[in-house]
Amino acid sequence: SYELTQPPSVSVSPGQTASITCSGDKLGDKYASWYQQKPGQSPMLVIYQDTKRPSGIPERFSGSNSGNTATLTIGGTQAMDEADYYCQAWDSSTVVFGGGTKLTVL
Amino acid sequence: QVQLQESGPGLVKPSETLSLTCAVSGYSISSGYYWGWIRQPPGKGLEWIGSIFQSGSTYDNPSLKSRVTISVDTSKNQFSLKLSSVTAIDTAVYYCARHTAHTTVATRYFDFWGRGTLVTVSS
């Protein structure tokens, strides 16, 4: 079965750029979505189709996808961005989620 | 604004069937989109269970397929999940969510989620 691998944790200082990776075999040939989940809340879509931001998502969130790696980048990270982030892709007609990355804003 | 709300028993006994319903407001299920179920064991990541279209066509996670039944009731604007023969490893927060129905499957994404409901499997 298809797998997506994320680092368990990433730390960033306020105002700096955070990058969260998601790796999978030929992931660049698929589309990646990213979800933010804060404690006690449901996931929220922040990036879809590799690079697109839903309405209401700040411009500091951006995405890329090439080769075997998709990347979520948060520029000028704020304390409110501290959360778990999950990547997601499709393998045929099956939804696959990455294991999640806890972003800590120190 | 699309809203989804899960409901169902919070406690299910081992070997029994877990049953949940997701009520949708702010959008008619009959108008399109897929409607899915995702779960999250305590302290762990997300696992997709399956999805259903307005027509009733479904597709499921192969690892759960034999135990999963997803159905839709357009007259009540809701859809449901049944997971049979549950064990403790099925303990999780269960979310319902909407995902797009692009012709190209790979471009689909989950755009609205319910708040989730915790289901504990225990005797």
Integer Cα distance of B98 and B105 in angstroms: 14
The per-residue pLDDT for range B15-65, each reduced to its tens digit, is 999 999 999 999 999 988 999 999 999 999 999 999 999 888 888 999 987
Residue A13 has pLDDT above 90, yes or no: yes
Chain B, nearest residue to A95 by Cα:
B48
**Cross-chain Cβ contact A93/B59 below 8 Å:** yes
Using the Cβ of A1 and the Cβ atoms of chain B, whether some distance falls under 8 Å is answered with yes
**CA-closest candidate to residue A7, choices A69, A54, A55:** A69
The per-residue pLDDT for range A22-52, each reduced to its tens digit, is 999 999 999 999 999 999 999 999 999 999 9
Give first-to-last CA distance, chain B, whole Å: 39
Query: Which structure tokens are listed for B82?
Result: 């049944």
Residue entry with tokens 């755009």: B111
Using the Cβ of A96 and the Cβ atoms of chain B, whether some distance falls under 8 Å is answered with yes
**CA-closest candidate to residue B19, choices B96, B97, B98:** B96
Residue entry with tokens 């890329």: A64
Integer Cα distance of B73 and B89 in angstroms: 28
Sign of the CA dihedral A82, A11, B94, B88?
A: negative
